[in-house]
Structure 1
Amino acid sequence: MTIASGQDNGPPPPGYTDHKPNHLARLHKVEGQIRGITRMVGDDRYCIDVLTQISAATHALQEVALALLDDHMRHCVTNAARSDPPAGEEKLDELAVAIRRTLRLSR
């Protein structure tokens, strides 16, 4: 709740807000790649060709994940660390878990 207005402004925007159009464009591209892979399997395309496209889609998703991690670090973690050091520590712990999950080092 803001003191000046007496109104609750809700949660802060996500860290990726400034890059949302780029992330959505990449995700739409991946969505198209997945539809293409589905068609390839339906059309009985050569296994290696399908695997190549799966690899490309996987890489594209990893790029989105890395960009979101970067946004989270630069926005959410940095802001929390500046405004509330204990909250900043929590955000760093959260980030470490997210990185491990992204790299599939643990679940």
Structure 2
Amino acid sequence: MEDLSKEVECHTESDTCRKSHHPERVKKDLTTRLNRIEGQIRGIKGMIERDVYCDDVITQLSATQSALNSVAKILLEGHVKGCVVDRLSNGDNEVIDELIVTIQKLMKK
């Protein structure tokens, strides 16, 4: 998998308005992945409607979850290498607590 996270920039305009700015190639890759996942979800829905064997549906669900995890990994890597590093270098140590919460959310799955 190509490393798509090195160019992510994080801009904090205020405490309530934080944004990441991904390069266009990263946005394009993430959008392509999410479109593929969306298609997988539609396919799973169709499998349910057609009463496809449960094990086959579960296999497709597993593949879809794996694809979502890949998107999350790309975003998390970009967040750590971009936003977290930037905020730490600006003396904002609260970002560590935020990062821990984010990782805990990902690990619930």
TM-score by length of 1: 0.78
Match of 1:96 among 85, 97, 100: 100
- 1:32-64 per-residue CA deviation (whole Å, 9 max, x = no partner) reads 000000011111111110000001001111111
Q: Number of paired residues?
A: 92
The structure where strand makes up a greater share of residues is: 2
Relative contact order, higher structure (CA 8 A, sep 6+): 2
Tell me which amino acid in the other structure corresponds to 1:94. Answer: E
Please tell me whether Structure 1 or Structure 2 has the larger radius of gyration of its CA atoms.
Answer: 1
* RMSD of aligned residue pairs (Cα, Å): 1.7
CA offset at residue 26 of structure 1? 0.8
CA offset at residue 24 of structure 1? 1.1
Q: Identify unmatched segments of 5+ residues in structure 2.
A: 1-12
Aligned residue number for residue 4 of structure 2: none
Identity %: 38
Give runs of ≥4 in structure 1 deviating > 6 Å. none
Q: Does residue 14 in structure 1 map to residue 10 in structure 2?
A: no
The structure where helix makes up a greater share of residues is: 1
